[in-house]
Structure 1
Amino acid sequence: MKLKQDFFTELPGFYSQVYPQGLSNPHWLAWSDDAAQLIGLTKPTDELLLGLSGNAAVEGASYYAQVYSGHQFGGYTPRLGDGRSIILGEALGPNGAWDVALKGGGPTPYSRHGDGRAVMRSAVREFLVSEALHHLHIPTTRALAVIGSDTPVWRESEETGAITVRLARSHIRFGHFEYFCHSERGQADKLTQLLNFTICQHYPHLSCDLAGYKAWFLQVVKDTAQMIAHWQAVGFAHGVMNTDNMSILGDSFDFGPFAFLDTFQEDFICNHSDPEGRYAFGQQPGIGLWNLQRLAQALTPIIPSDDLIAALNQYQGALVQPYLKLMRAKLGLPERVSPTPDQDQQDLELIGQFTVLMEKNQLDYTQTWRRFGKLDPSAKHSSLRDDFIDIAAFDSWYQAYQSRLGQVADIERWQTERNQINPKYILRNYLAQEAIVAVEEGNLAPLERLQLVLRNPFDEQVEHEDLAKRPPDWGQGLIMSCSS
């Protein structure tokens, strides 16, 4: 693993150097071959285990924790930073560089009286969701590995510590810009320095001047909107959309009490610490804009407000258009040629009516969409019909759907295409919990099986059919805590 140190070298004062505290009796719990290829690795080794568990120095690593601030559940916290994540540097791979971070490596200057550790259950969950989202074609950070240990960690009770080795195209967050705008030493030159670095590293086609800054912010708006459009289409609830958890590159980032929808529920809350539902599933598009507005406020010293507002005004369209494209594909609707706003609105209403029916009839979100892979759209009565209690309401919707769909020339091909957009397998919370319990008992097989299945979420995988079922009663709509 070859490391470079652009952030560490070029942005002194934007981090604190800190070294990880090694885990006791480290051992591999999970490993992603796909993620390893990104940074030129092939397999887990004993040498790598010692280095990534904090028990030996990694050649070329600088070891640092970044400082930033953020709006958490709507309230501004002026100084946050990497409280339990230590970055080694940027690893060079065949298609670019990826930050390598040890999440759970021990305390940093930003731990705020915490121990800087991650417990095994949260490390495994972050690993699984990072890889699951990637294979669902959703922009995300990646997870190279999970390292378990005998190190005791206290949360509600004694647990064991673990490290998720996270790979990110960048760890720069909205909160970085907020910190250097609002902190007592916040100055325009610091903001400019950070922005120039971000553009040079990740937007090299843009210039480091006002024209480039405006184009950059517009791209951030569009990337954030597109990420959230993917979340809404697949039924993913992030759970903690604080501005310090928002990647400047529009990658899904900083996973805590996330969830994929089981029974569809627009106001589903997956975070035990969010009783008012600020980050409920249906609130995510609006929160995305709110977070971008906070980023815009931080950028006012270097980008005129009118230009920032102009970019923010494009957020809705930047979210709705990819969402419409994804949902039309899920339904098998043909793309319109130069659609009018009225036509887009008609399609949004058709989609919305269907999700309302799903919610009223308490249907499983993923399973219901997957059923389109067996639907004969030319049939008078849909094979979906029996899933609905309110059959009359479904029949009415289905007639409107058939009218919009039109004639399907090749039904078998149409069905195959639906299965290529509507996954059969998602990371249901109860499956993750079952895998975690097995790991606690020393059995890695369920975790390895789940990881294997999530690598090919659109395939039938008949030998793993049980992992596509609706959750048992105890596993339906699980709400998780932020404890990690």
Structure 2
Amino acid sequence: MPASTVCPPPATTPAQPLLAGWHDGFAALGPAFHTELRPTPLPAPYWVGTSADVGTLLGLPVGWPQRDDALQVFTGNVLLPGSRPLASVYSGHQFGVWAGQLGDGRAILLGETAGGQEVQLKGCGRTPYSRMGDGRAVLRSSIREFLCSEAMAALGVATTRALCITGSPQSVAREELETAAVVTRVAPSFIRFGHFEHFAARGQEAELRQLADYVIARYYPQCSGTSNPYAQLLQAVSERTAALLAHWQAVGFCHGVMNTDNMSILGLTIDYGPFQFLDAFDPGHICNHSDHLGRYAFNRQPGVAYWNLLCLAKALLPLIRDVEQAQAALDSYEPLFVEQFMARMRAKLGLRQARASDETLVDSLQQLLAKNRVDYTIFWRRLSRAVADGKDEPVRDLFADRAAFDAWLLQYKELLALDDKAIAADLMLKTNPCFVLRNHLAEQAIRAAKLGDLSVLQTLQRLLARPFDEHPGFEAYADFPPDWASSLSISCSS
């Protein structure tokens, strides 16, 4: 069993309950929406990583990572009283093609806490929706999901969360033999666009309406009582999705598998598979080795999100009953995306007031970044420091075409001079992270964990929890990626 300096071995289970109670929530929708079943146990589980913040969110007692009942529950070996574990059914489009019925093939929902958070185990065995899969997750992908969920939350990006990872020596066959792991995921809801597509494709209008009414009552009550609550629901989801995509694009995040079954009805980042934060800025970057046609390239993400919303609109049309109203519900997506994206880019530039020239300034900068293949995160951090310290050379050194960048910098400084420089620098340093979960950093944590060393994972988790701080002594984690990083291949296999 790997040693851990953060998660000590479980001690005797105290009398205090792990979780106070469960609400039925999604389970109350009935058997058309899910199948009740127990997780499949794993032998000899051990802690790989835990999130104190998510533990607090769930109201877990202090010291829960030292408890054997917590280890067993979050591995799927033991059920808590009142838990009604289930796997939900949904359908969806994958890489733009209708894939038919999908569903929770390796995820089981334990239930909803009294605080309104759903708790789900990913990798806890086969379900009726596994489609010939083994229902397991491997240590490699589980570490990536755990770290990125928490890193995105610290960046302020809307996301599902990750409470913990537990590992097991049980073998799992992928491209090679790996070991099993379980991620405990947390969100107000794991409902996806694909849940609606499932019932619409089958002509099950009663179930479609039941699902939509549940989502409106629980998560979008402002839509209730309007002239067309289902059109209002579509518009609300569209606007949350636009805001999410604007944040992805601003921070340089590539999702990699934007299938409709990976789109959250709450506008959360969900299902961390072959994701990546950009290294060198490349608008056409494809982070998923399985995406042979580049459907989910970085610069295509906003358009793909809109296409996915069109699929959701089609699914909701039997309830909306008016094509024009459905289209009108989507019309705010593009202008809101542009508005939100530009607001985030202005913050990255330290510009507090919107001006007509802003889009030109951002567009020309992105062209320079792409042409010079400038590291995206390092550029923004160095620019922030340049504004704070008045030293331009470190950021100028990133560009082969210095003359072109100097011309852009002159235009930028003219705008910056219209604002308070100290306030601009403070805004930039709180907006442009020093640390993101680069692929090579995740890979280093994975390689060490496979050898029983969890210290790299723990260091990364600590740095990513406060990504805007400098963390003296850990500068290497914010440096350029090594040459071997470009050879990393991240696919849908997990």
**Amino acid of the structure 1 residue aligned with 2:255:** H
Match of 1:328 among 332, 346, 366: 346
Cross-structure match for 1:217: 234
Using the aligned pairs only, state the percent identity. 46
Whole-angstrom CA distance in 2 between matches of 1:292 and 1:248: 10
Cross-structure match for 1:313: 331
Cross-structure match for 1:241: 258
Whole-angstrom CA distance in 2 between matches of 1:210 and 1:89: 33
Q: CA deviation at 1:37?
A: 1.0
Structure 1 pair 29–396 and aligned structure 2 pair: CA distance change class (3 A): same
Does residue 161 of structure 1 match 2:180? yes
Whole-angstrom CA distance in 1 between matches of 2:468 and 2:487: 22
Cross-structure match for 1:203: 220
Cross-structure match for 1:123: 142
Equivalent positions of 1:260-339 (< 5 A) are 260-303=277-320, 304-336=322-354
Q: CA deviation at 1:187?
A: 2.4
**Amino acid of the structure 2 residue aligned with 1:395:** D
Match of 1:354 among 355, 365, 370: 365
Cross-structure match for 2:4: none
Structure 1 pair 208–12 and aligned structure 2 pair: CA distance change class (3 A): farther
Does residue 66 of structure 1 match 2:88? yes
**Secondary structure of the structure 1 residue equivalent to 2:221:** coil
8 Å CA contact 2:54, 2:163 repeated in 1: yes
Q: CA deviation at 1:11?
A: 3.3
Equivalent positions of 1:154-193 (< 5 A) are 154-183=173-202, 186-193=203-210
Whole-angstrom CA distance in 2 between matches of 1:168 and 1:108: 21
Whole-angstrom CA distance in 2 between matches of 1:46 and 1:15: 29
Q: CA deviation at 1:440?
A: 0.5
**Secondary structure of the structure 1 residue equivalent to 2:431:** coil
Does residue 434 of structure 1 match 2:444? yes
Cross-structure match for 1:363: 374
8 Å CA contact 2:388, 2:426 repeated in 1: no
8 Å CA contact 1:263, 1:476 repeated in 2: no
**Amino acid of the structure 2 residue aligned with 1:396:** A
**Amino acid of the structure 2 residue aligned with 1:130:** S
Cross-structure match for 2:105: 83
Larger displacement relative to structure 2 (200-209 or 377-386): 377-386
Does residue 423 of structure 1 match 2:433? yes
- Provide structure 1 residue ranges, at least 5 long, that are not aligned to the other structure: none
**Secondary structure of the structure 2 residue equivalent to 1:479:** coil
Q: CA deviation at 1:441?
A: 0.5
Whole-angstrom CA distance in 2 between matches of 1:373 and 1:239: 29
Summarize deviations over 1:46-76 as a string: whole Å, max 9, x none. 1111112121122211111000000000000
**Secondary structure of the structure 2 residue equivalent to 1:164:** strand
Q: CA deviation at 1:379?
A: 6.9
Cross-structure match for 1:257: 274
Whole-angstrom CA distance in 2 between matches of 1:217 and 1:63: 29
**Secondary structure of the structure 2 residue equivalent to 1:151:** strand
8 Å CA contact 1:4, 1:89 repeated in 2: yes
Q: CA deviation at 1:257?
A: 0.3
Structure 1 pair 312–204 and aligned structure 2 pair: CA distance change class (3 A): closer
Equivalent positions of 1:88-167 (< 5 A) are 88-93=110-115, 97-167=116-186
Q: Cα RMSD (Å) of the superposition?
A: 1.7
8 Å CA contact 2:146, 2:183 repeated in 1: yes
8 Å CA contact 1:377, 1:402 repeated in 2: no
**Secondary structure of the structure 1 residue equivalent to 2:172:** strand
Does residue 49 of structure 1 match 2:71? yes
Whole-angstrom CA distance in 1 between matches of 2:216 and 2:379: 42
Cross-structure match for 2:26: 7
- Provide structure 2 residue ranges, at least 5 long, that are not aligned to the other structure: 1-18
Structure 1 pair 393–39 and aligned structure 2 pair: CA distance change class (3 A): same
Equivalent positions of 1:453-472 (< 5 A) are 453-472=463-482
Whole-angstrom CA distance in 1 between matches of 2:391 and 2:238: 43
Larger displacement relative to structure 2 (459-468 or 385-394): 385-394
Does residue 387 of structure 1 match 2:398? yes
Whole-angstrom CA distance in 2 between matches of 1:255 and 1:384: 32
Larger displacement relative to structure 2 (390-399 or 358-367): 390-399
**What's the TM-score once normalised by structure 1's chain length?**
0.94
Q: CA deviation at 1:132?
A: 0.4
Whole-angstrom CA distance in 2 between matches of 1:56 and 1:415: 51
Larger displacement relative to structure 2 (469-478 or 206-215): 206-215
Whole-angstrom CA distance in 1 between matches of 2:234 and 2:371: 40
Q: CA deviation at 1:462?
A: 0.8
Match of 2:416 among 405, 410, 413: 405
Whole-angstrom CA distance in 2 between matches of 1:313 and 1:412: 39
8 Å CA contact 1:262, 1:477 repeated in 2: no
